[in-house]
């Protein structure tokens, strides 16, 4: 069975594997972050995300949502406090271990970071290639996932020839193709229509059912309400978590 077919058909054993982790998959304790001598962008963040959880992250523009995601993807280090991923203090990670940790984290960013010299197929396949998988083993998975995000007719297209919405869907496909332990998505449905937004939400939900911990930064109140997932709200650098309605 292909990987994307797995995403649409829950595998209980995958859920159990993630659930057996003793430590929360993400832990922040008294975290603050500032740039230079400026006031803190984030202040006293203390929370835990259990393996297999699903949260939305909301808040006004400039509140620190993207900064929080960057801390989780090891793009930034806190000015103070503890950030722990997979039970490991990120301050204690050796430089040579960082690529292996990052491969466990799928990321959808505002700037997407698609590689122009690669076509759509190879952009999505890149995480699998870096993990050492052979094209014969992943070709069907990548093709099916591109179809799932509505890009089956754009397999050979390069990013510059795609619309903004198509680029966003391509970035999402790349982020989920390796079925990461953590998925971080920054406004993943901002450039797609309502129907595609719901389709992407279903993809994230099914990935979560397989055990992936999902955190989505979004302003889409309708999408958040439809999901029924708990919400983390960040404002003025402080975080509040509300349970699902």
Compute the average pLDDT of residues 148-172.
93
Q: Taking a C-beta distance cutoff of 8 angstroms, is the pair 171, 114 a contact?
A: yes
What is the per-residue pLDDT for 22?
A: 63
For residue 31, which phi and psi values (nearest 5 degrees)? -80, 130
DSSP secondary structure code for residue 92 in this structure: G
Mean of pLDDT values over 213-227: 91
Q: Is the pLDDT confidence value at 15 over 50?
A: no
pLDDT for residue 47: 95
Domains of the chain, CATH where assigned: 3-22+51-74+99-242 (3.40.50.300)
pLDDT at 222: 87
Mean pLDDT of 51-66: 92
* Mean pLDDT calculated for residue range 83-105: 92
Eight-class DSSP state of 39: P
CB 72 within 8 A of CB 184: yes
Q: Which residue has the higher pLDDT, 200 or 119?
A: 119
> Higher pLDDT residue, 236 or 123?
123
| The pLDDT of residue 32 is above 70 | yes
- Whole-angstrom Cα distance, residue 151 to residue 133? 23
User: pLDDT of 174-193, one tens digit each?
Assistant: 999 999 999 999 999 888 88
Residue 6's pLDDT band (boundaries 50, 70, 90)? very low
Measured CA angle at 174 (ends 16, 215), to 5 deg: 55
């Amino acid at each position: 069975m292909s990987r994307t077919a797995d995403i649409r058909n829950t595998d209980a054993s995958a859920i159990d594997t993630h659930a057996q982790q003793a430590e929360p998959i993400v832990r922040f304790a008294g975290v603050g972050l500032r740039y230079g001598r400026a006031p803190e962008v984030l202040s006293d963040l203390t929370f835990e995300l259990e393996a297999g959880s699903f949260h939305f992250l909301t808040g006004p523009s400039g509140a620190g949502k993207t900064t929080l995601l960057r801390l989780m993807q090891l793009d930034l280090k806190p000015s103070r406090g503890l950030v722990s991923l997979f039970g490991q203090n990120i301050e204690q990670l050796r430089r040579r271990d960082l690529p292996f940790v990052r491969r466990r984290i799928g990321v959808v960013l505002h700037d997407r970071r698609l590689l122009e010299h690669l076509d759509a197929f190879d952009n999505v396949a890149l995480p699998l290639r870096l993990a050492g998988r052979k094209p014969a083993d992943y070709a069907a998975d990548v093709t099916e996932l591109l179809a799932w995000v509505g890009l089956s007719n754009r397999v050979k297209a390069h990013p510059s020839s795609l619309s903004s919405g198509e680029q966003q869907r391509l970035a999402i496909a790349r982020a989920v193709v390796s079925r990461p332990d953590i998925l971080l998505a920054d406004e993943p449905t901002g450039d797609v229509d309502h129907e595609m937004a719901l389709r992407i939400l279903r993809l994230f939900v099914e990935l979560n059912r397989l055990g992936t911990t999902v955190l989505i930064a979004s302003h889409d109140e309708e999408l958040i309400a439809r999901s029924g997932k708990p919400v983390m709200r960040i404002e003025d650098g402080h975080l509040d978590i509300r349970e699902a309605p």
